[in-house]
Structure 1
Amino acid sequence: MGERAYTVFDTVVGRCAIAWGVAGIVGVQLAEAREIETRRHLLRRFPDARETRPTPEIEAAIDGLKALLRGEPADLSDVALDMADVLPFARRAYQLVRTIPRGETLTFADIASRLGASGAVLSVGQALAKNPFALLVPCHRVLPARGETSGTLACGGIVSRYRLLSIEGALTGRGPTLLDALSFAPPRSTG
């Protein structure tokens, strides 16, 4: 398995964490309400990881994550992920989800259909619920159903799907605003 390492880093949404091994990143933990909770969640998933300084490749991934969370374009599709512990169906789903452009969304059914498994909508949802690569596999861009933006994400901490989609401009079609980036919940429906 090799030795794993991790680091905690500042973002506009709080202190996030990332863990990696020789073959690439094994997990990302988005900010919890307190840094100790972020660390606890990451170390529960990767108890063998030791805190250390990031390699240049990991530092580049961190810079991309920070940019994305600031609402800036960031292409994270070439960041190396270690999917050795990921089941084959989930691996295929994650690879497909990584191709969804910033500001766009698909549904669980869309992903299942594109994987050639249109009856596997539930399996897609289960795979995304276990996504260890928050933002690197942008599962926030995959909606349970068209227009359904509520809910928290796997490894999402306090960051909601709605908040991430707002930051990326997917909900407004006009790009993010400061109000969108600071919003924690969707606006109430008026109709």
Structure 2
Amino acid sequence: MNIGWNIESYVSVSSMIFSSIILFLILRINWKAYGLLFLLSAAAGEILCVIFAMLGLYSFPYTTFPAISSLPVVLVLTAFPMIVLVGVRYSPENWMSKICLYWVIVNLGMLFETWAQNQTQIIKYDMFWDFWDSYTWWWIYLLVFEWLGGRIVPQSARKPIKGSLLKSGQIGWFISHFILISTIFLAGFYMGRVTLK
């Protein structure tokens, strides 16, 4: 086990613990439906990571269990499905509101990934991989499992956010727009720094 007094260990361990707690809370609602969704999303996440790493698109200099794999296996097995299950559990019923929710999720995820790529050894982009490749694949991954989750998880096991909360002037609208504007500004700032290097 590769754990020490460094930012990579703090981030990896806290992420795994937090994700595991959230997964437990959601899985106990309907362990068959959410369990199947967990297995599918975890497998897909691992397969995508393996493929992209084998193609040399990105690498993981730091992993928690290097003796097992050069990939962050446990992190992917917990964090990726956690995001999927939270999305499926709480996504609104209509697709316009779903897109708004996933836009917030993807932007927050990319904010963290960009920070990790620049400030830690958790992930490093190689060859032709960049911010927009990750951004695109996060959208594909989450929307595929939102669609799949809608067919696996019964409505009784979901708790969709009311679409009305995301309408103009409502609290959800203010929160989502604050996150979106902030992350878009930071993305622009980051791209500007990269371009001017």
TM-score, normalised via structure 2 length? 0.25
Larger radius of gyration: 2
More helix by share: 2
TM-score, normalised via structure 1 length? 0.25
More strand by share: 1
